[in-house]
Amino acid sequence: MENTRNITEDLIYIGASDRKIALFESVYPVPNGISYNSYLLKDNKTVLFDTVDKSVEESFFENLKYALGGKKLDYMIINHMEPDHSAMIKRTTELYPDIKIVCNQKTKQLICQFFNLENEFENKFQIVKEGDTLNTGKHELTFVMAPMVHWPEVMVTYDKTDKILFSADAFGSFGAINGNLFDDEVDFASLIPEYGRYYTNIVGKYGMQVNMLLNKAKNIEIKTICPLHGLVIRKNIEKIVEKYYNWANYKSSKKSVLIAYTSVYGSTQNTAEILAAKLAQKGICDIKMYDVSMTHDSYIISDIFEYSHIVLASTTYNNGIFVNMENLINEIISHNIQNKIWAFIENGSWAPVCGDLMREKISQIKNTTILDKKVTIKSSPDKTAKEDIVKLAEAIINSLN
């Protein structure tokens, strides 16, 4: 199949895209599909960089055969063992029996677990550790460990010869490859929100580990990034590295307010709208509002990373937090989203309790500021509640300034 593309004279893209998938990892909506990237280096020795997901199995093997052009396959480097990249390891090894699987010790253990291998592949592994190199002729490949970006076994590989970083999940994105493989062939700026949604939801929890990888990357010259999902990046490297630095350090790119609400009969929404209007009247721009029941958490999580101030407005439900808001808060906590300023609005017709419950949950996150002013409404905002909304707006504006 000729849907391969050359990245350099020696390096060929042999991945494939799935546009039928609804939920990536059974969680994240991917309306524009997803690509599973794999690369073949043709040097004196041939090297396959990761495999693909089961859904694109046939395309991958056709691409691999076509790209090899009759050469034998010498090495398969496994940078990441998650099955969306590793599903084809066993079949590749069976089809190319002389292959060496190059990976670290943790990856080997996971390969044996996933494929229920005892000793079948024992003589096929070439175990590498931090700083080890593999010479393939013209190219020298160096292995750099990147644990928890996104799984514990993750490593990245650097081709010193062409200054290419095979970055595993890092610098990837949701979205299929539509012929245009390189970032300079598309409107890259318009794709940044999907890079953000991918990063924040998939590896957003591991800011410290991403920082460690960014620090290692500082010391090497990178001309091209080949990630396991999304575009090959060669023009916007500085831009994407800067975005990663901000996301990894939970730096808000927008000094503004994101209001996320759940509302059963409209009063909590109305209260959120009043707050947004008061803030806008005082000159706050770029306010964002989400009905948590209508938008998938992954989009809200991604925007929460960008905003400095977050207001959560919820209905009390079963003497607790409304279920969709509670799910969002659990996601916020599990993604460890730090350095935000939070405020809460609660509704409850006879026993409003969810404001304190939301506060209690959010206060578990490190480096969190919570504004004292809480708005309580009973069924619909009365005079006192409306005065409190004005006070909350003032408190938010003061802290923005």
Residues of the shown chain interacting with ligand FEO in the complex, contacts defined by CB under 6 A? 80, 82, 84-85, 150-151, 169, 228-229
In the bound complex, what is the minimum distance in angstroms from residue 384's beta carbon to ligand FEO?
49
Q: In terms of CB distance, is 83 or 320 closer to ligand FEO?
A: 83
Q: In terms of CB distance, is 31 or 283 closer to ligand FEO?
A: 31
In the bound complex, what is the minimum distance in angstroms from residue 151's beta carbon to ligand FEO?
6
Q: In terms of CB distance, is 100 or 229 closer to ligand FEO?
A: 229
Q: Which of 225, 216, 174 is nearest to 199 (CA)?
A: 174
The residue at minimum Cβ distance from ligand FEO is: 82
Q: Which of 390, 379, 362, 391 is nearest to 316 (CA)?
A: 379
Q: Which of 243, 154, 236, 234 is nearest to 197 (CA)?
A: 243
Q: Evaluate whether 36 touches 177 at the Cβ level (below 8 Å).
A: no
Q: How far apart are CA 192 and CA 38, in angstroms?
A: 22
Q: In terms of CB distance, is 152 or 193 closer to ligand FEO?
A: 152
In the bound complex, what is the minimum distance in angstroms from residue 191's beta carbon to ligand FEO?
17
In the bound complex, what is the minimum distance in angstroms from residue 352's beta carbon to ligand FEO?
41
In the bound complex, what is the minimum distance in angstroms from residue 202's beta carbon to ligand FEO?
6
Q: In terms of CB distance, is 108 or 374 closer to ligand FEO?
A: 108
Residue 267 phi, psi dihedral angles, 5° rounding: -70, -35
Q: In terms of CB distance, is 206 or 290 closer to ligand FEO?
A: 206
Chain-centre distance of CA 288, in angstroms? Answer: 21
For residue 182, CA distances in Å to 13, 85, 169, 205, 293 come to 11, 20, 17, 28, 36
Q: In terms of CB distance, is 195 or 317 closer to ligand FEO?
A: 195
3-state helix, strand, coil in the chain (%, to 5): 35, 25, 40
Q: How far apart are CA 44 and CA 55, in angstroms?
A: 31
Alpha helix positions (H), 4-88: 57-68, 83-86
Positive or negative, the CA dihedral 167, 171, 173, 177 is negative
In the bound complex, what is the minimum distance in angstroms from residue 81's beta carbon to ligand FEO?
9
Q: In terms of CB distance, is 80 or 100 closer to ligand FEO?
A: 80
Q: Evaluate whether 386 touches 274 at the Cβ level (below 8 Å).
A: yes
In the bound complex, what is the minimum distance in angstroms from residue 334's beta carbon to ligand FEO?
16
Extract the tokens encoding 227.
């990630």
Q: How far apart are CA 253 and CA 385, in angstroms?
A: 31
Q: How far apart are CA 313 and CA 275, in angstroms?
A: 11
